[in-house]
């Protein structure tokens, strides 16, 4: 498996640390109800198909990446830096 | 028997070898199988379950029968080696396997007589009574009988390597299709790797005669190879099997680097390749398949293509009187080869009623074989046709049930091959593995001309996908015959007719599976074990499927297939695990004081990937405790030195650094002034303690965070996440400086005196209160000093650039020794911190909260922090939680063990009564008592209570008093003073 | 039909003509009292115990593929009761006791082999953590012995005690731990359930869950709609998808776990060995193959196949620990879809929808749980109450913070 890091180019999977679904990007505000935190920390769509998840180029440039990927075929569709805010949804 | 004038062997180089202790001779270029056949050896192995005598079925890596142990000097051996792949070398020694006491007389051959009771899945129905007999009697007997070859039991000391390779086009297989593909891609300037499993390039051209471009096929191949060899963009790899197709164009391959050498002379045995290819062309050919008929497994019964290989490539006649049984045109081709080589063809049995009749041999059309005889090798066969049954004497039977394209790699990403009724075989599904293009026989194209054209097509497709322009080469002329086959999987009425030779799965077994409703193909496979033998179902999958389809009244495509999974050929653990042997498994990290510690006799122990000194023995000390007690004492009374460089150090800078620290720590750091250090607690977002440590403010917007040794990487990653993912607009940057600084704790009442003796400027006490930090110069070197303490004593940590670490450590220790102190190790460090109730990862083991360790007040109410919300969940706080306490045995000399559980006095030691557990223990020379840290249910409310500690593991049962975890100097006066 | 040694012999003498189907292939009925979604280990055992313990007969198991084709037929077959957190301890202890009577119960040889499981440790800290675990096991009534280095050497002389990267300090021996034949467990429960009247319906994928006024009324399948007032979801790696049919989001991420088997070898490894430091474990099957594996691949996946980095890591771990297996050749690798919960422990609970129950989140350890999970899920579905040994496996424990994190790596998805 290879991930094209926007900064370093395509690299072997073993250079990256995996963190899970990109839900983790949307941290609730302080004081949000427990259900919001439960959803943030635990509940997942867990799709069989296209998903977006977070990878850290730990053995490379240290960038956190948002990878759009297919969980059934392992196809990597696109990659962006987590620090670049996603287009408003 | 050798055939004169035939074969690609080098008759000028005879090689002596041994099989089962008998000495034989072969030639350079032989495989063990060809050499055995040349010496008239037909019986080579025993089958898995029935211990049936077995010979050589194939001439390739798919061999199910001729598996042997290859022996090495020193007692090492390689079990389950395919005699058909093992190249001969001078002195090769091999032994048959899975037989006792000898290959000829194998006692377990009685299993064959018991076969009516040993059908598919019989073991699920018996051996259940009495229950206790399973582990003691039945299972050991089954295990001994099962298995094939033997491991030596010795460490595998041979060399193995791993490598990466990158190319534009990987061509797998070097037959006509592969050569044509490689040539096309190479001429277009692409980086090409041509990988071939065999020791020689050429594929079927090595075995089957035929013209290409007006010359012998092999001569054409040599020409192509010569050209490829001359090109700088081409890498030719023989003895290299592509074993797996993975994501992102990554393929794995196994190179047998020195299996063929008597003396590897420093070369590795094998190299495991990870090849990243822009495109891959699968030109791996096809595998011939057997036909199931009664007793079709005797030594002497071979695949027709293998017979031709032995004749043409190795110059060996596999028998004196050969018969042929086929359902396709291979029958005639094989007969012609034999006749041309001067080998007698006793009969050709063609199952097709309309088989062509040319040829100077006895032909039975529309005939089948209904039985065979010969205990250790084939003697005769029974042929049945419209005219009845007759016996034909023969010592070698060449069988062809048609060809299966080598689709295996195309299945590695869950692709299912599709049935092509024209060739009665599965062919690769379209785009089954992204970027892998099947061609030639692997794609079901069975003529030489077709393969050449298809190889070129595949290469052009690959080049096009890579955006390269390529000239179309003129295709060489070659045979373009048709392949006519009439499916025949199992001869009617056949029962003990083998489908899976190695695992002893017969037609009868598959039918029994269907009868018992194991009728999905996966159920059949699992119930009968078909396809799970060393040949991975290569010889049996399609046949077994066809028999199942027939038994369940379904068509083959409707019945489905099982999947092939990596590796394509069995691949050694050593090759895939190359580099992992001994210390190679994980990096080793050494501190700058390592050599000095080793010189002082300190046992170095693992701390994560680091090595740290356990203790520093002195002459006369007989065990670690004596050394440890001494080290603790001198820290408490004088001064000790300890290397603490392994703690993570993260340099943090930026206008938002303070704000950032406030978010990742539970407590506030933005108020920390330059020159000051603060202890911080860090939570995971799930509310549990992740790590703790001190962070120093070195200047405005400049901090140095320390982490525990264990969590250094975790914390770094976490900080990057919080910054990049949650607050990318904050101005803050980090870099790990763990390796850049050597840092030593100098602890004890005389620590300042020791430091003053080495610092360029003496420390003014008023400038250096507890938790101060700042720059210092040590022998002219710019360093840093922190007044922090992990021992509870007046203490400092002094840091210098790593290149000065070794010298500084030696200097500090030498000076400390003159002051009655010295170096102290992990054991003393642990005692010192337990006496002070300070926690490590023994306490913050991932399940503890700030509340549990009594630090909930450190979670600032004034601001948000990572983990704050989750830490407030009801299950994370309250009297049901186990809380940190100290334990002192009622009789101070009674040892307690970490891991012991706590019970109320007088209650039985069972789960229902469990009150907690002990995390850390020590003997405290300072307090003359054993001490423990523990987590106790609602423990903070229970100081003073007597509690029972039960340690079943070490067989102790001790009463302790529950107390505050800070045993020594609870007000912290010593550290401040 | 009862299986026995005698039966095998008499059948053998008469051409094995008398063996009858292990289970029927019934057509789905329009309505059942209870529907079990998923014909894996947990689904089949739930159906079995619903019939056996609670007298229910009118039950269907709906399986989208073939029975036992999921993880129950892909795992590395380790059966153990060496958990230490209250909540887990009693559950796995109960499961192991059921295992010990399973052959007799099912009249099917599942080859449960209590060959002993050894967890190695490599530092004083790890020893203490294993002592805590061992003590928990004994407190629970199970067995555990703390071995020192020599104790391990006696049992496993072939380990590399001299050069391995993480020196072996000792091991925790769980004598009653071992393995079982995975397929046989699925088939044994399937046959047992079928004999008690349960309809096992294969090639029947559930595509929707019918809910009216907050109550489940049935399911939609590829073989038509089927009504039922009680529906249990036991689909392991597919839990997220099936729960979504009822509008639920679960605390689950599906990951791939790979495993490996070598060619058959004469007996060399007599125990189950777990090398936590290297994420490696191994045993030898009765057929002679070394069966081993390591950690998940670490990325969400439904592909049932993995990639090389973990393959190589596992092999490297094997080579540092026991280089004598170097010459063994891997025959096959495969992957399963693991239903990973944040804290690594399972869920057996009701849902907010009346009559809809869920049993999931088995991570990489649900094979050994098959008997007790079925037992407890059947109890829950029949009585509406959690069974005593499964009462902590709550769906909402992440919301409330009552976690069951054996590994201590955290109750967030990324942290396993
Ligand atoms: C490589 C590997 C090694 C493992 N090793 C061990 C081990 O050593 N010890 C251990 O205890 N555990 C182990 N496990 C874990 C264990 O196998 C699983 O936790 C357990 O089998 C899961 O429960 P199950 O048997 O019910 O799952 P499965 O067998 O996966 O059953 C779920 C079933 O649901 C079906 N299904 C899914 N969706 C639908 C639908 N919509 N409609 C109908 N049916 C559906 C699936 O087809 C499947 O048959 C391992 C797992 C793997 C992959
Ligand atoms: Zn990068």
Decide if pLDDT at A88 tops 50: no
Nearest to A41 among B246, B726, B870 (CB): B870
B739 secondary structure, DSSP code: T
For residue A51, being part of any structural domain is answered with yes
Domain boundaries, chain C: 5-77+182-251+343-400, 113-178+253-340
Structure letter (DSSP) for residue C401: T
Q: How many angstroms separate the CA of residue A6 from the nearest CA in chain B?
A: 14
Rounded distance between C-alpha atoms, residue B24 and residue B43, angstroms: 15
Number of domains forming the structure of chain A: 1
State the Cα–Cα distance between residues B218 and B209, nearest whole angstrom.
Answer: 8
Does some domain include residue A89?
no
Output the 3-class SS for chain A: CEEEECCCEEEEHHHCEEEEEHHHHCCCCCCCCHHHHHHHHCCECCCCCEEEEEEECCCCCCCEEEEEEECCCCCEEEEEECCCCCCCC
pLDDT of A87 strictly over 80:
no
How many other C-beta atoms can be found within 10 angstroms of the C-beta atom of residue A78?
11
**3-class DSSP state of B142:** helix
Greatest alpha-carbon span in chain A: 41
Q: Which residue of A has its CA nearest to B412?
A: A73
Domain B648-736 carries which CATH code?
3.30.70.1400
Q: Name which of A11, A46, A65, A75 to mutate to probe chain C: the one with the most chain C Cβ atoms within 10 A of its Cβ.
A: A46
| Positions of chain B with pLDDT lower than 70, given as ranges | none
Q: Tell me if residue B145 falls in helix, strand or coil.
A: helix
B914, B903 contact by CB (below 8 A): yes
Please tell me which of the candidates A1, A25, A54 has its beta carbon nearest to residue B246. Answer: A1
The answer to whether B139 and B244 are in contact (CB under 8 A) is: no
Phi, psi of B717, deg, nearest 5: -60, -40
Q: Do B721 and A2 touch (CB under 8 A)?
A: no
pLDDT tens track for B629-647:
999 999 999 999 999 999 9
Nearest to B743 by CA among B799, B826, B822: B799
Q: Pick C268's closest partner by Cβ from B151, B605, B914.
A: B151
The architecture that CATH gives domain B292-400 is: 3-Layer(bba) Sandwich (3.50)
Same fold: C5-77+182-251+343-400 with C113-178+253-340: no
Q: What is the pLDDT of residue B446?
A: 95
pLDDT of residue C393: 98
- Peptide bond just before B395 cis, omega within 30 deg: no
Task: Tell me if A87 is assigned to some domain.
Answer: no
Which tens digits make up the pLDDT trace of B555-586? 999 998 878 999 999 999 999 999 999 999 99
State yes or no: pLDDT of A89 exceeds 70.
no
Give per-residue burial for B78-112: e unless 16+ CB within 10 Å, then b. Answer: bbbbbbbbbbbbeebbbbbbbbeeebeebeebebb
Q: Cα–Cα distance between C24 and C21 in angstroms, integer?
A: 7
Which residue has 């690798």 as its token pair?
Answer: C333
- Looking at residue C322, the DSSP 8-state letter turns out to be -
Q: Where are the beta strands (DSSP E) in B270-362?
A: 270-282, 286-288, 301-303, 321-326, 344-350
Structure tokens belonging to residue A63: 């960038």
How far is Cα B159 from Cα C118, in angstroms, rounded to an integer? 29
Strands B301-303 and B396-400: parallel
Find out whether the peptide bond into B522 is cis, omega within 30 degrees of 0: no
Residue C338 and residue C363 in contact, taking contact as beta carbons nearer than 8 Å: yes
Residues of B with CB under 8 A from a CB of A: 246-250, 274, 276, 413, 434, 685-686, 717, 720-721, 723-726, 728, 864, 868-870, 873
CATH architecture of the domain B589-646+740-833 equals 2-Layer Sandwich (3.30)
C111 touches chain B (CB under 8 A): yes
- CATH topology identical between B160-287+405-465 and B834-860+878-976: no
Please state, in angstroms and rounded to a whole number, the distance separating the CA atoms of residues A44 and A22: 10
C219 lines ligand 1 (CB under 6 A): no
Query: pLDDT tens for residues B420-459?
Result: 999 999 999 999 999 999 999 999 999 999 999 999 999 9
Residue of C nearest to B513 (CA): C21
Query: Would you say how long chain A is, in residues?
Result: 89
Q: What is the DSSP letter of B380?
A: E
Among all chains, which residue has been given the structure tokens 């450590």? B809
Supply the pLDDT for residue B958.
Answer: 97
Q: Tell the residue nearest (CA) to atom 51 of ligand 1.
A: C75
Angstroms from A60 CA to nearest CA on chain B: 12
Residue A86 in any domain: the answer is no
The CA distance from A8 to the nearest CA of chain B, in Å, is 16
| Ligand 1 atom at minimal distance to the Cα of residue C42 | 26
ipTM of the modeled complex: 0.98
Calculate Rg over the CA atoms of chain A: 14
Percent of chain A with pLDDT over 90: 94
Q: What pLDDT shows up at residue B864? A: 97
Torsion of CA B92, B98, B102, B108, to 10 degrees: -170
Phi and psi of B906, rounded to 5°?
90, -5
For B8-159, list the strands marked E by DSSP: 10-19, 22-28, 45-46, 53-54, 67-71, 77-82, 92-96
Buried b (16+ CB within 10 A) or exposed e, B223-249: bbbeebeeeebbbbbebbbbbbbbbbb
CATH code of the domain occupying B489-554: 1.10.10
Task: Domain C113-178+253-340: give its CATH code.
Answer: 3.30.9.10
Buried b / exposed e along C324-356 (16+ C-beta atoms within 10 A): bbbbbbbbbbbbbbbbbbbbbbbbbbbbebbbb
The CATH class of C5-77+182-251+343-400 is: alpha beta
CATH architecture designation of domain B1-155? Roll (3.10)
Give the CA distances from residue B174 to residues B36, B194, B540, B935, in Å, rounded to whole numbers and listed in that order: 26, 7, 25, 67
Residue C54 host element (H or E):
helix C41-54
Tell me, using a 6 A CB cutoff, whether residue C76 lines ligand 1: yes
- The Cα C315–Cα C321 span in angstroms is 10
Position of tokens 């250094």?
Answer: B712
Q: How many Cβ atoms from other residues are within 10 Å of residue C212's Cβ?
A: 9
- How far CA B423 is from CA of B176, B444, B925, in Å, comes to 20, 7, 84
Let me know if domain B834-860+878-976 sits in CATH 2.40.30.110.
yes
**Would the CB of C96 count as within 6 Å of ligand 1?**
no
- The CATH number given to whatever domain includes residue A56 is 3.30.2270.10
Q: How far is CA B633 from CA B783, B828, B847, B976, in A?
A: 28, 9, 33, 19
The predicted structure's pLDDT at residue B960: 98
| Model pLDDT, residue B861 | 96
Strands B250-256 and B240-245: antiparallel
* Mean pLDDT by groups of 10 residues along chain C of 416 residues: 94 94 98 98 98 97 97 97 97 98 97 98 97 98 98 98 97 98 98 98 98 98 98 97 97 97 97 96 97 96 97 98 98 96 97 98 96 98 98 97 92 72
- Rounded to 5°, the CA angle C120-C121-C126 comes to 145
C344 Cβ below 6 A of ligand 1: no
Contact flag A20-C303 (C-beta cutoff 8 Å): no
Domain that holds residue A59: 2-81
Q: Which residue has the tokens 């009462």?
A: C391
Q: Which CATH architecture has domain B160-287+405-465?
A: 3-Layer(bba) Sandwich (3.50)
Angle at B582 between CA B579 and CA B583, to 5 degrees: 85
Residue contact B413–A27, C-beta within 8 A? no
- Pick A44's closest partner by Cβ from C249, C298, C399: C249
Nearest ligand 1 atom to the CA of C186 is: 25
């Amino acid at each position: 498996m290879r991930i094209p890091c926007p900064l370093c180019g395509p690299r072997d999977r073993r250079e990256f640390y995996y963190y899970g679904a990109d839900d983790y990007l949307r941290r609730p505000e302080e004081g949000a109800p427990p259900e919001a935190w439960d959803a943030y920390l635990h509940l997942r769509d867990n799709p069989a198909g296209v998903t977006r998840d977070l990878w850290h180029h730990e053995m490379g440039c240290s960038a956190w990446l948002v990878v759009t990927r297919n969980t059934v075929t392992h196809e990597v569709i696109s990659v962006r830096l987590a620090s670049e805010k996603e287009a408003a949804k | 028997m050798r055939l004169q004038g035939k074969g690609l062997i080098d008759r000028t180089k005879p090689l002596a070898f041994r099989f089962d202790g008998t000495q034989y001779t072969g030639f350079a270029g032989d495989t063990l199988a060809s050499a055995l056949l040349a010496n008239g050896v037909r019986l080579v192995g025993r089958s898995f379950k029935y211990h049936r005598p077995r010979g050589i079925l194939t001439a390739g890596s798919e061999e199910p029968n001729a598996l042997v142990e290859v022996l090495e000097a020193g007692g090492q051996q390689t079990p389950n080696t395919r005699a058909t792949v093992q190249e001969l070398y001078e002195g090769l020694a091999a032994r048959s396997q899975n037989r006792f006491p000898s290959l000829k007389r194998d006692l377990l051959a009685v299993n064959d007589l018991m076969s009516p009771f040993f059908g598919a899945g019989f073991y699920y129905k018996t051996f259940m009574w009495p229950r206790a007999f399973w582990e003691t009697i039945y299972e050991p007997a089954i295990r001994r009988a099962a298995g094939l070859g033997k491991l030596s039991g010795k460490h595998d000391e041979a060399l193995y390597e791993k490598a990466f390779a990158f190319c534009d086009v990987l061509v797998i297989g070097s037959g006509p299709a592969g050569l044509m593909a490689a040539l096309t891609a190479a001429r277009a300037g692409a980086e090409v790797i041509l990988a071939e499993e065999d020791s020689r390039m050429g594929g079927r051209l090595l075995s089957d005669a035929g013209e290409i471009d007006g010359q012998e096929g092999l001569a054409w191949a040599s020409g192509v190879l010569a050209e490829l060899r001359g090109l700088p963009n081409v890498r030719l790899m023989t003895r290299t099997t592509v074993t797996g197709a993975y994501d992102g164009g990554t393929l794995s391959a196994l190179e047998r680097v020195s299996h063929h050498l008597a003396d590897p002379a420093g070369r590795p045995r094998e190299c495991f390749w990870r090849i990243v290819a822009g495109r891959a062309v699968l030109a791996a050919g096809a595998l011939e398949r057997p036909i199931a008929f009664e007793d079709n497994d005797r030594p002497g019964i071979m695949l027709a293509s293998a017979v031709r290989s032995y004749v043409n490539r190795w110059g060996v006649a596999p028998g004196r009187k050969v018969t042929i049984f086929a359902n396709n045109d291979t029958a005639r081709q094989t007969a012609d080869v034999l006749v041309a080589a001067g080998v007698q063809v006793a009969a050709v049995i063609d199952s097709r009623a309309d088989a062509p009749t040319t040829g100077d041999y006895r032909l039975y059309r529309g005939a089948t074989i209904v039985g065979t005889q010969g205990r250790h090798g084939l003697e005769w066969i029974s042929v049945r046709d419209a005219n009845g049954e007759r016996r034909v004497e023969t010592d070698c039977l060449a069988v062809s049930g048609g060809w299966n394209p080598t689709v295996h790699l195309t299945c590695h990403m869950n692709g299912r091959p599709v049935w092509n009724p024209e060739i009665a075989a599965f062919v690769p599904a379209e785009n089954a593995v992204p970027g892998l293009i099947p061609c030639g026989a692997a794609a079901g194209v069975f003529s030489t001309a077709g393969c050449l054209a298809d190889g070129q097509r595949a290469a052009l497709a690959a080049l096009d996908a890579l955006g390269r322009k390529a000239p179309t080469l003129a295709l060489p002329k070659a045979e373009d015959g048709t392949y006519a086959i009439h499916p025949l999987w199992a001869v009617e009425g056949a029962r003990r007719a083998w489908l899976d030779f190695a695992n002893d799965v017969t037609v009868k077994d598959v039918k029994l599976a269907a009868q018992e409703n194991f009728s999905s193909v996966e159920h059949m496979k699992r119930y009968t074990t078909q396809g799970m033998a060393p040949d991975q179902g290569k010889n049996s999958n399609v046949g077994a499927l066809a028999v199942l389809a027939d038994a369940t009244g379904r068509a083959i495509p409707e019945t489905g297939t099982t999947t092939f999974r990596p590796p394509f050929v069995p691949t050694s653990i050593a090759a895939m695990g190359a580099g992992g042997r001994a210390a190679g498994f994980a990096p080793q990290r050494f501190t700058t004081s390592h050599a000095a510690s080793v010189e002082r006799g300190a046992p170095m122990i693992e701390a994560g990937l680091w090595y740290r000194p356990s203790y520093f023995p002195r002459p006369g000390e007989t065990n670690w405790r004596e050394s440890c007690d001494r080290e603790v004492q001198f820290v408490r009374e004088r001064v000790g030195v300890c290397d603490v460089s392994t703690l993570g150090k993260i340099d943090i800078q930026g206008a938002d650094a303070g704000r950032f620290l406030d978010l990742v720590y539970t407590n506030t750091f933005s108020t920390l002034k330059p020159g000051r250090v603060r202890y911080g607690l860090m939570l995971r977002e799930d509310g549990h303690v992740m790590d703790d440590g001190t962070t120093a403010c070195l200047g405005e917007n400049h901090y140095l965070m320390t982490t525990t040794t264990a969590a250094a990487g975790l914390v770094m990653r976490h900080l990057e996440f919080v910054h990049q993912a949650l607050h990318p607009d904050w101005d803050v940057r980090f870099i790990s400086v763990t390796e850049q600084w050597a840092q030593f704790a100098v602890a004890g009442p005389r620590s300042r005196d020791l430091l003053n003796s080495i610092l360029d400027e003496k420390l003014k006490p008023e400038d250096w209160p507890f938790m101060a930090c700042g720059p210092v110069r040590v022998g002219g070197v710019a360093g840093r000093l922190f007044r922090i303490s992990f021992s509870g004593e007046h203490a400092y940590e002094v840091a210098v650039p790593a290149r000065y670490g070794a010298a500084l450590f030696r200097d500090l220790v030498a000076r400390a020794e003159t002051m009655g102190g010295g170096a102290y190790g992990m054991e003393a460090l642990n005692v010192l911190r337990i006496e002070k109730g300070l926690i490590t990862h023994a306490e913050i083991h991932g399940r503890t909260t700030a509340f549990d360790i009594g630090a909930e007040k450190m979670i600032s109410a004034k601001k948000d922090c990572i983990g704050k919300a989750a830490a407030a969940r009801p299950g994370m706080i309250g009297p049901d939680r186990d809380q940190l306490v100290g334990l002192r045995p009622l009789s101070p000399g009674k040892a307690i063990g970490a891991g012991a559980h706590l019970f109320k006095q007088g209650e039985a030691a069972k789960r229902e009564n469990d009150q907690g557990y002990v995390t850390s223990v020590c003997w405290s020379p300072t307090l003359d008592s054993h001490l423990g840290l523990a987590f106790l249910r609602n423990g903070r409310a229970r100081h003073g209570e007597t509690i029972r500690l039960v340690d079943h593991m070490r067989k102790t049962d001790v009463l302790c008093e529950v107390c505050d975890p800070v045993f020594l100097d609870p007000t912290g006066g010593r550290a401040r003073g | 039909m009862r299986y026995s040694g005698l039966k095998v012999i008499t059948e053998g003498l008469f051409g094995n003509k008398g063996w009858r189907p292990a289970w029927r292939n019934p057509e789905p009925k329009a309505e059942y009292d209870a529907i079990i979604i998923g014909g894996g280990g947990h689904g089949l055992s739930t159906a079995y115990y619903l019939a056996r313990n609670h007298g229910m007969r009118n039950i269907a198991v709906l399986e989208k593929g073939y029975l036992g084709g999921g993880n129950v037929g892909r795992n590395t077959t380790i059966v153990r009761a060496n958990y230490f957190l209250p909540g887990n301890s009693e559950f796995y202890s109960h499961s192991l006791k059921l295992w010990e009577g399973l052959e007799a119960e099912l009249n099917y040889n599942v080859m449960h082999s209590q060959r002993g499981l050894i967890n190695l440790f490599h530092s004083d800290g790890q020893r203490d953590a294993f002592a805590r675990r061992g003590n928990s096991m004994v407190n629970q009534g199970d067995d555990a012995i703390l071995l020192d280095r020599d104790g391990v050497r006696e049992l496993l002389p072939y380990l590399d005690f001299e050069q391995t990267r993480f020196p072996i300090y000792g091991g925790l021996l769980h004598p009653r731990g071992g393995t079982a034949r995975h397929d046989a467990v699925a088939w044994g429960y399937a046959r047992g359930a079928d004999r008690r009247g349960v309809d096992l319906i294969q090639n029947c994928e559930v595509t929707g869950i019918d809910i009216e006024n907050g109550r489940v009324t049935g399911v939609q399948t590829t073989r038509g709609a089927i009504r039922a007032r009680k529906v249990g979801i036991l689909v392991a790696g597919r839990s997220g998808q099936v729960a979504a049919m009822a509008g639920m989001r679960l605390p689950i991420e599906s990951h791939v776990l790979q495993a490996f088997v070598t060619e058959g070898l004469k007996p060399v490894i007599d125990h189950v060995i777990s090398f936590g430091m290297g994420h490696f474990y191994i045993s030898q099957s009765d057929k002679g193959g070394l069966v081993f594996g390591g950690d998940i691949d670490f990325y969400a996946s439904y592909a049932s196949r993995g990639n090389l980095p973990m393959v190589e890591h596992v092999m490297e771990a094997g080579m540092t620990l026991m280089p004598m297996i170097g010459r063994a050749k891997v025959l096959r690798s495969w992957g399963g879809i693991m239903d990973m919960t944040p804290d690594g422990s399972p869920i057996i609970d009701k849902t907010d929808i009346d009559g809809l129950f869920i049993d999931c989140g088995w991570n990489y350890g649900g094979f050994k749980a098959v008997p007790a999970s079925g037992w407890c899920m059947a109890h829950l579905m029949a009585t509406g109450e959690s069974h005593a040994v499964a009462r902590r496996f709550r769906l909402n424990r992440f919301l409330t913070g009552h976690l069951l994190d054996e590994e201590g790596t955290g109750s967030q998805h990324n942290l396993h």
